Structure 1
Amino acid sequence: MKISNPRRIVGSNAERTRLHNRQVVLGHVRERQPIGRAEIARISGLSTQAVSNIIAELEEDRLLIEAGRQSEGRGLPVLKYRLNADGAVALGIEVRPDAMFGALVNLEGETLFTTREALPDNAPSTVVSVARRIRASALEGRCGKTQKILGAGVVMPGPFGKVGISGAGQSALHGWEDSDPVAVFEEALDMPVVVENDATAAAVAERVRGVATGLRTFCFIYFGAGLGLGVVAEGEVQRGAFGNAGEIGHVIVRPGGRLCACGNHGCLETYASRIAARTRLAGAGIEIGSASDIENLYRAGNAHLMEWIDEASGPLSQAVGLIENLFDPETVILGGAMPDAVLDHLIASLDLPGGSVAARAGRATPRVQRGSCGRLTAALGGAALVIHDTITPRIAAKT
């Protein structure tokens, strides 16, 4: 599939400046709330009058509300502002080969609604129909005339575009090769849409509401349909030239090893992913359809699942060491469509290499830890990306 213009640039210079300044004010409010106009002006470099005008506009749009007056020494108490959590919502939708997940969150990133829908197939017509149903269910009775719908973040497994691993294996979406998912979903959902790689969206969710809150540089290994990597460096997600950064599942960890659907031998995905776990269990006559099936097997102490965990820990340890030396993250997070207990067991079984930039004394965070956003991490991340784009200013493009 291809993505055309997933993040729009406003047309005129004046309009870009106006949008940028709104995002500057919203960003400072979010980080320091409650906060007054003079403080926003001081830290943003905008004039007090400009800040006052922007705040009046944001109040009218119900994105900001008054948070009372606070005394700051001599003079009259200062009127403070904070985000209006319920003034706006964003929709997140994750598309997997066999299911779709939906989440609705408010401006503070709090979850208002979640759902899971099974997919009989993942053709565009089927996915679009289910997406419309998720939208209707999420917004029913929740968004009145005074509540702004910011848009939707649609999360899909990569890769994007026709590349050497397109359509490979059980993680692939079929029939999307020549489609523009941004255009498809904007028409179907009747709202602005951002399309993102599932691992990247999951990383954003963990930064907004999970264990990566307060971290600026970290990596997220996402157990979805396959295995992906989300990278956040200095607070910015890393996408690569064509949106395909982080295809960690197709990094070779065992040269000459198992044949992968991409055509390589020894890919990480063939050892340490839900696909690998499903293959191991199917060989023992055990079929699994969801993470709940894996969780039940783990609780029962299924020997075949335990064998898979033991086998996966080696290649996964090697991959973590590679990620550490490539990106120098504060931590590596594991999460997604794998039960917490299994992820905890995998982490405890890792034999992390000592030859790593992460192997240092006095660490503030563990080298590897489990995410806290659960199985809906990517869908929540899709919604979080929409909020991020609303609040976080970007340097304007040259004209």
Structure 2
Amino acid sequence: MPVMMRPQLQLSDAQRRVVQHLRIHGPTARVHLAQTLDINAATLTRLTQQLSALGLVEETPASPVTVRGRPTVPVSIAGHGGWSVGATVHPGWLELAVIDFRGQVLFEDSRPFAQGDPKVFARTLDERLRALAAERGFMRGRFLGLGVAVAGYAIGGDRNRRSVVDWIAPWDDIPLQQVLESVLDMPVWIENDAAAAALAEYYRPEIMSRHRSILVFFLGHGVGGGLIAERDLFVGEFHNAGEVGRLFPGDQPRPSGIDLLQTLRHAGAEASSLADLEGLMDSHRAVFDAWIERASAQLATAVHSGVAWLDPGAVVISGALPRAVLAALAEQVEAHCGRLFAGYRAPTPRIYASSLASKAVVLGAALTPLHDVLGARG
């Protein structure tokens, strides 16, 4: 078996703690970092100097407000010390995103891709990345790796072997990491698409700064989910945590994007893909409203169960649906859960609508190598 490749960037536990604190809490003065992390000032200074030399942290301009004595200069996450790529395949097209170490998007791209062979996918991606490196100088940064989000669950407890959807049938039950790395000659991580979306939702600053654990429902061609538990992606013993689609049999109405698409077609709408949903919202408002009412009740039952078992700080309704639909679903799920949680005196999770929508999958794929570098993933 080929040796698992790893990014060139390797951080010590102490360095990871500093980076994680800055990522969660934002720019922080060294004196406060030392106090919060229980590290003496000299050690903290040395750590930030090391991280600065790697291009991972930088000093933030001091506040114009002056105080007695030497002003403190906060340090923050820098972007130029590393970059990573995320990619995924949709029916008929390929999507990729390049992010820097801050998690900010440097480049997004999509192109037609009808070939299901994973080696062709890898060669297509390799050609595009080489062109990007020449055009934008990405190779001057520190490359962390490539995350690939796959629509399919793990087989035999191996996250690199997947039972996949029909449009990528050649990806089924093969060692995907080894196959892709043999073509790309770079570190590759394979992740379920909904789990990748959960990672992207968690890395949103307004989520990460407030919560340690979140439950994410991703609605697209199917119904998927992901759980961030204590700031890590929880995968389960067989790497299939979040396979919530099993709660909604495909031969019955379910809260998925494809189900909404079929509902609209039955109502006479001309729609060939999820991309057409946005343009139908005005002309078929009643159909959307009825579907949202039904789907939100289904999701609320799953949310109620998930909250009882997992006690997350937040629930995020995400997916490849128009943002207005996600917002309406979140609002109605929250109303349903308000009734389900009635009389329960402990804190209950806040329910968010995703602001990332379909982009969550490819962004989460790109975040996977970065998440691994920070030591948060086993």
**Distance in 2 between the 1:225 and 1:4 partners?**
33
2:358 is matched with which residue?
A: 375
Alignment of 1:86-165 (within 5 A): 86-136=80-130, 138-144=132-138, 146-161=140-155
**Distance in 2 between the 1:4 and 1:97 partners?**
30
Distance 1:301 1:240, change over 3 A: same
1:229 is matched with which residue?
A: 225
Contact 1:98 1:122 in 2 (8 A): no
Secondary structure class of the residue paired with 1:26: helix
1:66 is matched with which residue?
A: 59
Shift of 1:19: 2.6
CA distances 1:148-206 after superposition (whole Å, capped 9, x unpaired): 2222222112201159xx75765x63122332222233344433222222222212212
2:318 matches 1:335? yes
Shift of 1:373: 1.5
Distance 1:227 1:290, change over 3 A: same
Secondary structure class of the residue paired with 1:201: helix
2:188 is matched with which residue?
A: 193
Distance 1:162 1:274, change over 3 A: farther
Q: Among residues 183, 186, 209, which one is paired with 2:178 in the alignment?
A: 183
Distance 1:308 1:29, change over 3 A: closer
Identity across the alignment (%): 26
**Distance in 2 between the 1:197 and 1:358 partners?**
34
**Distance in 2 between the 1:61 and 1:109 partners?**
16
Distance 1:393 1:322, change over 3 A: closer
Contact 1:152 1:193 in 2 (8 A): yes
**Over aligned residues, Cα RMSD in angstroms?**
3.7
1:247 is matched with which residue?
A: 243
Distance 1:115 1:361, change over 3 A: farther
Contact 2:164 2:172 in 1 (8 A): no
Counterpart AA for 1:272 = P
Normalized against structure 2, the TM-score is what?
Answer: 0.81
Secondary structure class of the residue paired with 1:160: strand
**Distance in 1 between the 2:337 and 2:139 partners?**
55
**Distance in 2 between the 1:389 and 1:169 partners?**
26
**Distance in 2 between the 1:200 and 1:293 partners?**
25
Alignment of 1:342-381 (within 5 A): 342-350=325-333, 352=336, 356-357=340-341, 360=344, 366=350, 368-381=351-364
CA distances 1:118-153 after superposition (whole Å, capped 9, x unpaired): 331433134223433553465453335642222222
**Distance in 2 between the 1:129 and 1:36 partners?**
45
Contact 1:7 1:194 in 2 (8 A): no
Contact 1:324 1:356 in 2 (8 A): no
Q: Among residues 194, 199, 204, which one is paired with 1:204 in the alignment?
A: 199
Secondary structure class of the residue paired with 1:272: coil
Shift of 1:306: 4.8
**Distance in 2 between the 1:32 and 1:211 partners?**
10
**Distance in 2 between the 1:9 and 1:308 partners?**
45
Q: Among residues 21, 26, 31, which one is paired with 2:19 in the alignment?
A: 26
Contact 1:93 1:379 in 2 (8 A): yes
2:68 matches 1:85? no
Unaligned runs of 5+ in 2: none
Distance 1:126 1:249, change over 3 A: same
Larger mean CA deviation between 353-362 and 98-107 belongs to 353-362
1:318 is matched with which residue?
A: 301
**Distance in 1 between the 2:360 and 2:262 partners?**
24
**Distance in 1 between the 2:370 and 2:343 partners?**
35
Secondary structure class of the residue paired with 1:237: strand
**Distance in 2 between the 1:7 and 1:145 partners?**
18
Contact 1:122 1:174 in 2 (8 A): yes
CA distances 1:68-91 after superposition (whole Å, capped 9, x unpaired): 578997764455432222332221
Alignment of 1:210-221 (within 5 A): 211-213=206-208, 214-221=210-217
Counterpart AA for 2:359 = L
**Distance in 2 between the 1:311 and 1:355 partners?**
16
Counterpart AA for 2:97 = A
**Distance in 2 between the 1:84 and 1:47 partners?**
23
Counterpart AA for 1:150 = L
Distance 1:56 1:358, change over 3 A: farther
Contact 2:156 2:238 in 1 (8 A): no
Shift of 1:41: 4.3
